[in-house]
Chain A
Amino acid sequence: MTTERRHLLAVGDLTRADAERILDTASALERSLDREMKKLPTLRGRLVVNLFYESSTRTLSSFELAAKRLSADTMVLRASGSSVDKGESLRDTALTLAAYDPDVIVIRHPHIGASQLVAAATDAHVINAGDGKHQHPTQALLDLHTIRDALGRLDGVTVAIVGDVLHSRVARSLVEALLLVGAEPVLIAPPTLLPRNVEALGAKVSHSIDPLADVDVVYVLRMQAERMEASYVPSLREYTALYGVTPDRVRPGQVVMHPGPMNRGVEIDPRVADSGASLVTTQVRSGLVVRMAVLYDLLTAPGLHVAPVPIMEVA
């Protein structure tokens, strides 16, 4: 019997039912982790390879631990200190790894399309752990899980995503995921940090931080210092004055999220980051159970679609 080979390359690979099933699995796994025995035998004998071409703390550690908690064997390959340093192409690296017959390849890469290439080149299930400014689907799922945990629902939840949307795969994936489950995203950023035709993403858009007052969830994006050099904004000082998430801008009852790593005092005030409203550490915990759920779903459940091979449309 052959099973379909399934991937998680982009949020667009998921139906609403897929997303909800993964979140339900994550919740069930979360309960099991509360027990004293933290390890499940589910994926014993399976091999999960983490192929990381970009530095990462939480995503890599989270995938690594998720696989171990499910009793899979794991392997980490980093771009530095490997044959990548010697100029090996991504395809050749993928083929080399494929010789070990991995069940899952988790890939983080600075360039868009890397996960598609690995999926095409190998027989493994592929999980995109971030490709360029494109997609980071497990981040979006863990954010959904965090919101559902905190608010008890997703449908109709309003979420303000504040900051550098232009350069953010997190924002792109999250908007898509929120729309998928019936939540209502609003993007808040200066025009220079929004993509042209941003309306095509399907979210509301504001250049002022005012709509922050009306949402259930405040989602803060990382503001990178190098954006100043290319004049996306004139200074961090002005950015923080206009878009910084400060205590006076957060209303009681709102929750605050950040994908990390945080620039305290820039996009988020430390008093907000450390307040009871902050779900930042919950996000990390969600990351573990959601990635366990994704591994479990890919390797055992029949639900996820095969990532469709896109058909080219010509006028």
Chain B
Amino acid sequence: MLMSRNGRADALTVRARVIDPSGGLDEPATVTVEDGVITAIQSVATAPEGLVLAPAFVDPHVHLRTPGREDEETIASGTEAAAAGGYCAIVAMPNTDPVVDNASVLEALVERAREEAVVPTGFTAAISKGQRGEELTEMAELAAAGAIAFTDDGRPVASAGLMRRALAYSAVADRPLALHCEEPTLSAGGQMHEGAVSAALGLAGWPSVAESLMVERDLSLAAYESRPVHLQHLSARASVDAVRRARAAGVQVSAEASPHHLCATDELVRTLDANVKMNPPLRTEDDRRALVEGLVDGTIDCVATDHAPHARHEKDVPFEEAPFGVTGLETAFGALNTFLVRTREVPLATLLDRLSAGPARALGLPVPRIAVGDPANLVLLDLEAEWTVREDSFRSRSANSWLLGRTLVGAVVKTVAGGRVVFAA
């Protein structure tokens, strides 16, 4: 269940290069929207240079910090950021204060989204009560209250026994589990990827095997219980390899990678900038390449921002004291276009699929399409627009971006979500 505030449906006409990878569409065209619905797609000879109209993006992994840390993000500010990033749907994580682990917390959030959300917003609920990894939440009731999926994101389900029960029981709720894969005794105390850079800096390592080992465990359990799993924010080559093997063996698995893991490596941590500290950590160039290969061949179905707002004063501390997480909703397309599409590592159409249809399918959400009769969920992109990421350029309440000060090429010009124009540059 996606929820947003009501408003009138818009009408608009856009002439651009129209790309809808799932419909095999890529041609200059004029798209007409009336009453929030696509009513015509008319081929034209040419379109303005650099302008691309695509299905709007879907983010399966956002932290809206509500309830509990509304100083960092609210449903209103987070969805405004999403609109500015080209998103027509986002899915919020349940690691809030209190944790979304019972129907009353979830219902209050859905209600708030109905009042505040600029972009349709879905909520996940926790796998375990308090995300403590001990007892399952009431999944059936939570699903009925609107939970899109179940996840203890932010921490792993350490117990294999509980994970097995969660997988089996999730069939009753008919929702997938979204898993944060981290073997906690291997990652304990880890501040960054364990490798040459951590050796030089003396920062405690968070080794890639701590992720891939848990990926292997969870894929084995998913196979055993014949249940679908969605693996969150993969960062390591061995994890991508494991997903590829499991899918070939028939396991129902979908997987995310974040823009920062796809574009950057642990070399950035040499700056000791707390805005390059996230969980899982940035890894090596070899890992980054494996993620990009996985994105291209479809092993990784979705780009997920793992948008994680933090108050400035909490990041403005020595690296080891800083919390994990970076924002991403407003920079995702610019970063991916700059570092992956323009460098020809990833074709544009592939990226657009992984930003929209991929995540929608993974979490069972409506797939945004550019087709006559469909609701308008559109993003208009300028592939040539240059802009510099600045603290004051965000609609998010937080500015802890790993891209501060960088110039990106590629910007969102307009976003239409559920038939309404929610962002116009």
Contacts and interface: CB of A to CB of B under 8 A. Distances in A.
Nearest to B316: A91
Contacts of B274: 113
A315 interface: yes
Nearest to A9: B272
B353 interface: no
Interface band, chain B: 35 or more
B285 A315 contact: yes
A134 B201 contact: yes
B313 A89 contact: yes
Contact of B317 (A89, A131, A135, A198): A89
Interface stretch (B32-40, B202-210, B222-230, B362-370): B202-210
A241 interface: no
Nearest to B196: A200
Nearest to B201: A134
Interface of A: 89-91, 109-114, 116-117, 131-135, 168-169, 172, 195-198, 200-201, 310, 312-315
A89 to B, nearest CB: 6
A201 B318 contact: no
Nearest to A92: B313
B263 A198 contact: no
Contact of A313 (B205, B267, B318): B267
Nearest to A202: B200
Contact of B207 (A89, A109, A132, A196): A196
Interface in B326-343: 339
Contacts of B199: 195-198, 200-201
For the complex of A and B, list the 5 residue pairs with the smallest distance between their C-beta atoms, beginning with the closest. Answer: A133-B202, A200-B196, A195-B199, A113-B319, A111-B320
A111 B319 CA distance: 7
A134 B203 contact: yes
Contacts of B195: 196-197, 200
B371 interface: no
B339 A172 contact: no
B237 to A, nearest CB: 14
Contacts of A131: 318
A91 B202 CA distance: 22
Contacts of B197: 200
A89 B316 CA distance: 9
- Main DSSP-derived SS at the B contact region: helix
Q: Which of A113, A196, A200 has the most CB atoms of chain B within a 10 A radius of its CB?
A: A113
Contact of A314 (B264, B316, B317): B264
B200 to A, nearest CB: 6
A117 B313 CA distance: 13
B282 to A, nearest CB: 10
Contacts of A134: 201-203
A112 B201 contact: yes
Contacts of A197: 194-196, 198-199
B198 A315 contact: no
B395 interface: no
6 contacts: A91-B316, A112-B202, A112-B319, A132-B202, A172-B202, A195-B199
Contact of A112 (B196, B267, B320): B320
Contacts of B264: 314-315
B203 A117 contact: no
Interface in B227-275: 263-265, 267-268, 270-274
Given A117-B317, A132-B320, A315-B264, A112 B198 contact: no
Contacts of A195: 194, 198-199, 202, 205
B288 interface: yes
Contacts of B320: 110-113, 132
B288 A114 contact: no
Nearest to B288: A315
Interface in B103-157: none
B386 interface: no
A272 B274 CA distance: 44
Contacts of B191: 112
Given A112-B318, A112-B320, A196 B267 contact: no
